[in-house]
Amino acid sequence: MKKILVIGSLNVDMVVNVPHMPVAGETILAGNMELVPGGKGANQAYAAGRLGAHVTMFGAVGSDSYADIEKQSLSSAGVDTSHLLVRKDKSTGLAWITVNDEGDNSIIVIPGANATVTERDIAAHDCLIRDCDILLCQLEIPLKTVVYAAKRARELGKTVILDPAPVPQQFPEELYSYIDIIKPNENEAAQLLGEQVKGCEEASDKLRAKGIQNVLITLGPKGAYINSEKEGKHLLSVRSVPVVDTTAAGDAFTAALAVRLASGFSLVQAVRYANEVATIVVTRRGAQTSIPSAEEVLFDN
């Protein structure tokens, strides 16, 4: 199987379940707070590992017990964490997550060590990019670093997949030219375009016009929309399930997509599988705690 490299964030999530999201000035009571391994980058690496891929995670953690939580979780999924940077003067990234009774979440990320990953760090680990087939990136580490990594991967002929979350105020337009597949959700697609669009076909056409061959827009319970130069336009639906917690569903989708592409499946086949993986994730609590193993995904392309 081809090799997947994830360059991105590692956070420990502090998760609180609440009956509804508090509004400004409101105080509400919740049960206990749980510590869960998370971070968009680490979630993708963990998911790809659980789904059977050969995966390396690159990013930065602090020298603290949160880093141990992340490393143990990733290692349990078979992810190579030996290249992670350890910043003695920084905390591992943290995320405060509230999940309401509908399973929706709101997330505040304190980047900590994630904010220290530089272009120079990527250059010093060029061997990781040379050695991979597929690079997965998100936007919880500095944008310049992501642009550098994506550019280098593209120069070396690798497949670059970008999960553009969280969407920054100023998205670097240059980055579009280094991406093979971009995977925003509906809100992120609108944020990237900076305008209201009438549905995912128009949004994906506009993103394609920026030079990206493959645009996937995830639509929550409605599935995912593909707009691909080679494979055309498709709306792929998902089965209906009771939603408990949507945290990491997008991360698991991206990882599952990469895993299937790494095994030689077409984009449409890979998205069908990613839809099923994300569907399982929303029925479970937490980030990495919600991600199924390959055996648990009863799915046949």
List active site positions.
251
Give the max Cα distance, the chain. 52
Give me the helices (H) in 51-99, please.
Answer: 65-76
Smallest distance, Å, CB 246 to ligand RIB? 9
Report the chain's C-alpha Rg in angstroms: 18
Residue type, 278: A
Smallest distance, Å, CB 226 to ligand RIB? 21
**Nearest residue to ligand RIB, using CB?**
38
The binding track of 3-42 with respect to ligand RIB, each residue x by CB under 6 A or -, is ------x-x-x------------------------xxx--
Tokens of 108: 């505040």
Interaction of residue 117 with ligand RIB, rule CB under 6 A: no
Interaction of residue 274 with ligand RIB, rule CB under 6 A: no
| CB nearer ligand RIB, residue 140 or residue 180 | 140
**Number of residues counted as binding ligand RIB (CB under 6 A):** 16
Interaction of residue 81 with ligand RIB, rule CB under 6 A: no
Residue type, 150: A
Interaction of residue 140 with ligand RIB, rule CB under 6 A: yes
How far is residue 82's CA from residue 93's CA, in Å, rounded to a whole number?
18
Interaction of residue 258 with ligand RIB, rule CB under 6 A: no
Report which of 11, 12, 30, 34 is spatially closest to residue 20, judged by C-alpha positions.
30
How far is residue 278's CA from residue 221's CA, in Å, rounded to a whole number?
10
Q: Residues 47, 277: contact at Cβ < 8 Å?
A: yes
Site residues (CB under 6 A) for ligand RIB?
9, 11, 13, 38-40, 43, 95, 107, 109, 140, 247-248, 250-251, 287
